[in-house]
Structure 1
Amino acid sequence: MSEKLNQDNITPTEQPKESAEAIKKDAKGLWENLRKFFRELLDIRTNTDQDATKQAIIADIPFKGHTSWILICSIFIASIGLNANSTAVVIGAMLISPLMGPILGLGMSLAINDIDTLRRSLKNFGVMVGLSVLTAYLFFEFFPLQDESSELLARTAPDIRDVLIAFFGGLALVIARAKKGTIASVIFGVAIATALMPPLCTVGFGLAIGNLGYAFGAMYLFIINTIFIALATFLTIKLLKFPMVRYANSARRRSIARIASVVAVLVMVPAGYTFYKVFQESIFKKQAAEFVDATIAKYQFTGGGRFLNNFTTVEYNEGENPLIEVVCMGNENIPPNIIASWNTMLKEDDDFPRLRNTELHVIQGGQNEQVDQLKYINELYESQKNQISNKDEKIALLEAEVGRLKRIQTKQIPFLDITKEAKANYENLVSLQYGKAIRSDFKKMDTLSIFEPVWKEGLSPSKRAAENKKMLQWLQVRLKDTTVQVRNAQ
């Protein structure tokens, strides 16, 4: 009875207060458990062997003896794979390549102020680059086949994805190195993902064929990979709090620390600038693709026109006018006023602020330029076939376009010769008109060649019909075209 009275005497405000405190206590306990869980999940310090990691990185720095020959063999294999456009061979070459050693040495030595390791890393890095480029150059210089394969061309123009791959690949590699019991599969995976070797092979290829644009573009990609792998190593070593190298002479220690700091800044500043530059180019290309999708791709052709989206070219020229070039083929031209409106949109539309100074080039065929269309398509096919050798649908598209234009070319009428022969064959012929008409059965369209002869006055209808029939048979044989028609002039 007394317990019931005590319960009845509890005020309503006391019950919510107790329950709120209980909820707060439970939430705090849940948060602490989550923090503990994620700390154990993501913490890499407890399972790091600092001494073993340092010794392993230092051991991989030198390039001499066996390591040099392994590098030469892997460069040859990669060059053959790039030349043959074989991704599998290139991956195999990257698995045996020892290119990572000096780069990890650069990052680690900067992080722990180890000037001796830094010096050895820079020296071996130079040897590595020189030996790789020389080997690739000699291969492509003396190898009889020098095709510009898609695997080669893919290493001449870095973008934002290459920067991110290099950074996170380097991060994964140094974390794997630091773990007690190195994870070999991670090391192999990073060697493939960061792709240090193919750019060096492409540098040799560019020098061998005399194309400095290829060589500089590939070297730029290699430098990006190197900088961001070294940067990821530097940050990870700092995060794991590897001990700094101590020197007996305090003045020497301070000077080495300053040198390491300056070199670190020299590495980080280009890395930051490169990331910014590549990021800006990535944004530009994204907006260019959105512009093309919003304009040219949505244009409704009423005749035989077609927009070839696969051959859109976007060029980001820093400090100069960028370029968007699109290709349209067929018997229908896009009106100049439409193209002018697209150019106005480039300069004024707030949805595309990065495209303000961009030039738009629309390459298109016309009904009176069939031969030029055929020439352009053939040149385009020849220049692009190596890059799209593994993309059957693009090749089929080009072959279909070439076939269509060849059919158009075969229907070109040598009208001047026809008129001279017709005058010699038909004494009653006064004049001859010629034109083209487009016929559709709502399933397909066809172009017809129509001739309209004008006969002398006084010619009977039956005689005129006989002459028309005779001329039709002659023209079909002469032009090798059964679709030719002969009609009476109005």
Structure 2
Amino acid sequence: MNQNLNQDNITPTSNDAGGEDIKKDVKGLLGKAKTFLFELLEIRSNTDPVATKESIIADIPFKGHTSWILICSIFIASVGLNANSTAVVIGAMLISPLMGPILGMGMSLAINDIDMLRRSLKNFGVMVILSVLTAFLFFYLFPLRDESSELLARTKPDIRDVLIAFFGGLALVVARAKKGTIASVIFGVAIATALMPPLCTVGFGLAIGKPLYALGAMYLFTINTIFIALATFLVIKYLRFPMVRYANSQRRRFIARVASLVGLAVMIPAGFTFYTVFKESLFRKQAQEFLANTVEIYEFKGNGRYENDLTDIHFDEKLGSYLEVAILGTEEVPENIVNMWRNKKNTYSRLVDTELRVLQGGRDDSEQKFNYVNELYESKKAELLTKEERIRVLEQEVASLGKYAERSIPFAEISKEAKVLYGNLSGIGFSNRVQTDFKKQDTVPIFEVKLKDGINPDAKKEEMKRVSEWLKVRLKDSTIQVREVE
């Protein structure tokens, strides 16, 4: 019995020792992982605050050589945007000196340097005015003003632009703060954040008299500026750059308060912009999901067609958001189906108060359909970001209009009636011909009639006259032409 008790006492001791060993192993593993992550992500030890500050201060002024470089880069970017050349736009961004004052604003707020902030704001204003004025003069005087996809892409910023600006700014400041600046990162951020193209687009919108283009592009530039400055502020604070000291403690406290207020003033619109754009992004995501689960999967029985490229997803919290879908063709979607779509829409949290507009072609004639499609295309032109996409949409609509033209003549009925009324006919055809006298352009319906062999010329002439008069009365169209074919 004593032997059993001794064995029972030994077993717990062994388990306790094993548990302690496991705990030590886990602690050692966690410690190694923590050390590894710290060495992997730690940047303070390899930072040169003095050199970083000097390099950013040196890039703030806009005068002399820097001004001419800016003007040249603006011209190059404007030409690239006008010619729809991505490569040229990238080249312009590489030589652009736009980042200097923005980094200066972020760092001045972080280190409490009111003089640097004043210089940064002054040079930033000079930079914006000079850039917009240069782009305006180029597009105003240049005869070719095509609304290229490169230009239109800068008129409607979204959540991705916010993220690009913020993380691009983080990468830029971290690269500038490293001992031995990483030039490739600076060039990459200059391309990614794209400060130059929005300013060129502002000048373009003002030059062609479209202020909405200019406002959209300036909004994108503002987003980039705010979030790059915000990223700079956060990184400099994290790296603990030395604060600017003032002999007068009262002045130091005053400047600190001013810097804090300015920093807060920068962060508030930045946060508001991010939140607004984020909500719009979520709205568009739910709208696309709703359309994919309802309108896009609807099966048309006839010649109806849903055109996704002409869908308008409009987000506006103040005036009201709406989804506008276009149904092309003569087939209409039944009202009960549309009501079902509206009920389905209300199951999406961000689409409850959104209006669903279903525009249907109905049985309008070809001219009305053409005007309708043309209006939709013009309203959506800014969202058709490539010439190839525009051409594809237009080709589809031209093909559809050709089908409408064929259906406007009930050819099957006409051919049956002609066979009964005119026994000398052996065949009949129909086509539309576009013709012009260089003053106006008309589309003329032409019927080609083939008569049986063995009929004398006079009888043929009389038969053709009767067929022509019958078709004009039957179709209520005096412009119809009838020709004999062999």
Q: TM-score, normalised by structure 2?
A: 0.83
**Residue 384 of structure 1: CA displacement?**
6.1
Which position in structure 1 is the counterpart of 2:275? 276
SS in structure 1 of the partner of residue 296 of structure 2: helix
CA RMSD in angstroms comes to 2.7
Task: Report Cα offsets for 1:271-328 as digits up to 9, x if no partner.
Answer: 1111111111111111111111111011111112221122221111121121211122
Deviations 1:350-383 (A, max 9, x none): xx11112212222232344333223333555577
Counterpart contact for 1:202–1:214, Cα < 8 Å: yes
Asked if the contact 2:152/2:385 (under 8 Å) is kept, the reply is no
Which structure 2 residues correspond to residues 283-322 of structure 1 after superposition, within 5 A?
A: 283-322=282-321
Label 1:317 to 1:230 Cα distance change in 2 as closer, same or farther (>3 A): same
Structure 1 residues 392-436: Cα deviation after superposition (integer angstroms, max 9, x where no partner): 4663353133123124325534xxxxxxxxxxxxxxxxxxxxxx4
Partner residue, 1:404:
400
Q: 1:46-77: per-residue Cα shift (whole Å, max 9, x none)?
A: 10000000000000000000000000000011
Residue 332 of structure 1: SS of its match in structure 2? coil
- Counterpart of 2:151 in structure 1: which amino acid? L
Residue 447 of structure 2 aligns with an amino acid whose one-letter code is K
Q: Which residue of 1 aligns with 2:359?
A: 363
Distance of 1:474 and 1:172 partners within structure 2? 73
**How far apart, CA to CA, are the structure 2 residues paired with 1:362 and 1:205?**
34
Shift of 1:473: 5.0
Count of residues in correspondence between the two structures: 436
What is residue 325 of structure 2 aligned with on the other side? 326
Give the TM-score, by structure 1 length: 0.83
Task: Find the aligned partners of 1:83 and 1:38 in 2 and give their Cα distance.
Answer: 47
State which of 394, 416, 422 in structure 2 corresponds to 1:468.
Answer: 422
Does the Cα contact within 8 Å between 2:107 and 2:232 map onto a contact in 1? yes
CA pair 295-482 structure 1, distance change in 2 beyond 3 A: farther
In structure 2, C-alpha distance between the alignment counterparts of 1:363 and 1:221, rounded to whole Å:
32
| Distance (Å, rounded) in 2 between the aligned partners of 1:336 and 1:260 | 60
Aligned to 1:338: 337
Aligned ranges 1:425-464 → 2 under 5 Å: 436=410, 448-450=412-414
Q: Give 1:480's match in structure 2, choosing from 447, 450, 460.
A: 447
Paired residue for 1:112?
Answer: 111
Contact 1:129-1:200 at 8 Å conserved across structures: yes
Residue 175 (1) aligns with residue 174 (2): yes
Corresponding position of 1:433: none
- Structure 2: 5+ residue stretches without partners: 432-444, 451-466, 471-486
SS at match of 2:254: helix
Task: State the partner residue of 1:75.
Answer: 74
- 2: CA distance between counterparts of 1:391 and 1:139? 23
Deviation at 1:143, TM superposition (A): 0.7
1:210: which partner in 2?
209
Query: Residue type matched to 2:122 in 1?
Result: K
Give CA deviations for 1:12-59 in whole Å, capped at 9, x if unaligned: 212211111101000000000000000000000010000000000000
Residue 116 of structure 1 deviates from its aligned partner by: 0.9
**Within 5 A, what are the aligned runs for 1:111-260?**
111-260=110-259
Q: Tell me, yes or no, if the aligned pair for 1:371 and 1:409 is still in contact at 8 Å.
A: no
What percent identity do the matched residue pairs reach?
Answer: 62
Task: Read off the aligned partner of 1:448 and give its amino acid letter.
Answer: A
Q: Aligned to 1:480, what secondary structure does the other structure show?
A: strand
- Asked if the contact 1:374–1:406 (Cα under 8 Å) also holds between the matched residues in 2, the reply is no
Alignment CA distance shift 1:476-1:67 (3 Å): closer
Query: What's the CA shift string for 1:149-183, capped at 9, x where partnerless?
Result: 11111111111111111111000000000000000
Residue 390 (structure 1) shift: 3.9
Moved more, 363-372 or 187-196: 363-372
Give the secondary structure class of the aligned counterpart of 1:258. helix
**Secondary structure class of the residue paired with 1:11:** helix
